[in-house]
Chains A and B, each alone.
Chain A
Amino acid sequence: MSLFPTGADWRRAAKDLVEGLAAWHIWTLLAFNDIRQRYKRSRFGQFWITLSTGIFIAGIGSVYSFLFGQPVETYIPYLAVNIVIWGMLAGIVTDSTAAFTQAGSILGQQALPKTIFVMRVIVRQLIILAHNLVIIALVFLLFGIVPTAAAVMAVPGLLLLAVASLPAGMTIGLLCTRFRDLPQIIQSLLQVAFFLTPVMWHVDQLGGRVPYVIDFNPFAIFLLLVADPLHGHWPGIGRYVQALAIIGTMVLVTAPLFARFRARIVYWL
C-alpha cells in the first residue's frame, strides 16, 4: 500500500471534485435541511442563531469593554463584527470534523462525491452567517455607525474564506474520520485559537510585539480580511497575499491527501 496517489486516484479525485461541485442542488438542500431540522420544534426557530449570538455579544461586550477600559459604543460594534465572523471560522472547522461521519449511512450505500458533504458544511455555515449579519446591522443601527466604502471589501474577503474552507474542510473531515480523537483535539485547539486571534482584543494592543501571532495565524488572517472592511479599514494587499498563500498551502496538502485516501473514507466509517 503506497502513500502516494496513483494516476487513477488523481482522476477519480478530480471527478469527485467536479461532480461534487456540480451537484449544488444536493448540498444546498442538505444544508438547508440541517438548519431547519435543528430548530424545527422551537418557537423562534432558526432565529435562535441570531438570538444566542446577540446575547453572547451583549454579555461579553459589557464585561470586556469595562475590563479593557473601552467605551461600550465602540467596543460592542467592534466585538459584534468579530464574533460573527469568528463564529463562521470556528463553525466550519468544528462541522468539518463530522462532515463524513455524519453522512455515514448515505456514503455506505451510494456512490456520491465526497465533495458534496464538505460543501454542505460550508453552505450550512453561510446560512448561519446570514442569520448573524442581522446582529451586525442592529448593533450598527443602535450605536449609529455608518459603514464606510471599505465595507465592500468584506465580500471578496468572504469569498476567499469560502474558497479556503473547501480544502480545509476536506482535510479535517478526512483525518477526523480516520482518527476519532482528532475532533476533540481540534475542539480544544480551537478554544486556544480564539484567544490568539484578535476577536475580543485589538491588533494595536499587541503594540507591534509578537507579530507572528497575526501573520502566521490563519484564523487571524481570514478574520481580519472580512472584519477590517466592516470596521472601516481597507485591508492591505499583504493580507490578501497571506490569504492566498494559506489557500495555496492547503491545496498542496489536501490534493494528494484527498486523492490518495478519498476512497478509504467509506471504509473508515
Chain B
Amino acid sequence: MPLIELRDVSVDFPIYNSRSRSLRNALMARIGGRLAGEGDLVTVRALQDISITLNPGDRVALIGRNGAGKSTLLRVLAGAYEPTAGSAVINGRVSSLFDLTMGMDAELTGVDNVILRGVFLGMSIAEARSYIPEVAEFSELGSFMHLPMRTYSSGMRLRLAFAISTVRTPDILLLDEFISVGDESFARKARERLERMIDEAHILVLASHSLQTLRAYCNRALLLDEGRIIADGAIEDVLDRYKGGAA
C-alpha cells in the first residue's frame, strides 16, 4: 500500500563559501583554530519539524510563497533528500516530474534517450525499449527519433521527455507546477494524459501558485511558510487561509 509518512523532518542546507569548502580550511580549523572575522559554516533551514502522513487517495496541494520550502519538501518526498533530522518513510514507486529532461543527453538519439530516461524511471532496458513505438507516436517525432537530441527544438525535446516520463503511472506522483508542453494541440493531448495519470496515481503531491489548478486536482492542501507547515486540511479551508494572508 503506497504511503508517505514524515515524522519531525527537518532539512538543513549547509552553505559552503569557497573558504569553508576547501580542505585547507577544514584542516586549519581543526589544527589552528578559526580564522578571525570570516564566517563559519552557514546553514539554511529549509524545512522544520514536518510531520505528515499521506494515504492513498490523497491529492495534496503544496501552497506557499517562494522560498517557503515547497520544492525541498517535494525532493524529500521523492527520496532524493534524506532529512537531516527526523524520519521519512516512503512506500511505493515514486515518479518525480520536476525536470522532465533530467538525465537526458543531447548527443544521444531520441531512441537512446527514451531508454536512458526509462531506466531512470525504474524500467529494465528491455521494458524501456518496448515503449519506443508508443513514445514515438505520442511525441509525433517520427523519424527524428533516430537523430541526436541536439537537432531538436526545445519544444521537441520536451515532447519526447514528456512522452517517456508519463508512459507509466507511478504509485506516487510528484509535480512541481502543472506541466504544460508544446503547441496547442499537443498541450491538449498532454493535459489529458497527465490528468489520467493524476487520476490513476494513488498519491498526488502538486506544488503550484495557480489556485485554479490546485482546486481542479487536489482535495487536501498543506500551507508552508518558512519551512513549517502552518495549515493542513481540506483544500478550500487552507486556500481561504492562504488568501486571507496567513502566509
Contact = CB atoms under 8 A, between A and B. Distances in A.
B108 A37 contact: yes
Interface string B80-100: 111010000010001010110
A105 B119 contact: no
A108 B23 CA distance: 24
A111 B105 contact: no
Interface residues of B, number: 34
A29 B125 contact: yes
Contacts of A108: 75, 80
A109 B82 contact: no
Interface centre among B13, B79, B120, B125 (most CB of A within 10 A): B120
A178 B20 CA distance: 10
A178 B165 CA distance: 32
B210 interface: no
Contacts of B125: 25, 29
Interface in A186-231: none
B103 A105 contact: yes
Q: How many A residues touch the partner, as a band?
A: 20 to 34
A11 interface: no
Contacts of A110: 78-80, 96, 102, 120
B213 interface: no
B148 interface: yes
Contacts of B75: 108-109
A263 interface: yes
B39 interface: no
Given A109-B80, A111-B80, A266-B80, A33 B105 contact: yes
A179 B78 contact: no
B105 A109 contact: no
Nearest to B124: A25
B119 A29 contact: yes
Given A180-B21, A185-B23, A111 B94 contact: yes
Given A181-B22, A267-B13, A111 B78 contact: yes
A74 B126 CA distance: 48
B23 A106 contact: no
A40 B148 contact: yes
A182 interface: yes
Interface in B102-124: 102-103, 105, 107-108, 112, 115-116, 119-120, 124
A268 interface: yes
B108 A25 contact: no
B234 interface: no
Given A179-B22, A181-B24, A185-B23, A109 B99 contact: yes
Interface in A89-111: 105-111
A5 B115 CA distance: 37
B23 A182 contact: yes
A252 interface: no
Nearest to B106: A37
Contact of B119 (A26, A36, A107): A26
A29 B124 CA distance: 11
A181 B84 CA distance: 25
B187 to A, nearest CB: 23
Interface string A10-33: 001000000000000110011001
A252 to B, nearest CB: 21
A185 B23 CA distance: 10
Contacts of A111: 78-80, 90, 94
A35 to B, nearest CB: 11
Contact of A107 (B14, B22, B80): B80
Interface of B: 13-14, 16, 18, 21-24, 26, 75, 78-82, 84, 90, 94, 96, 98-99, 102-103, 105, 107-108, 112, 115-116, 119-120, 124-125, 148
Interface of A: 12, 25-26, 29-30, 33, 36-37, 40-41, 105-112, 178-182, 185, 263, 266-268
16 contacts: A26-B119, A33-B105, A33-B112, A36-B108, A37-B107, A40-B148, A108-B75, A110-B78, A110-B80, A110-B102, A110-B120, A111-B80, A111-B90, A181-B24, A267-B81, A268-B16
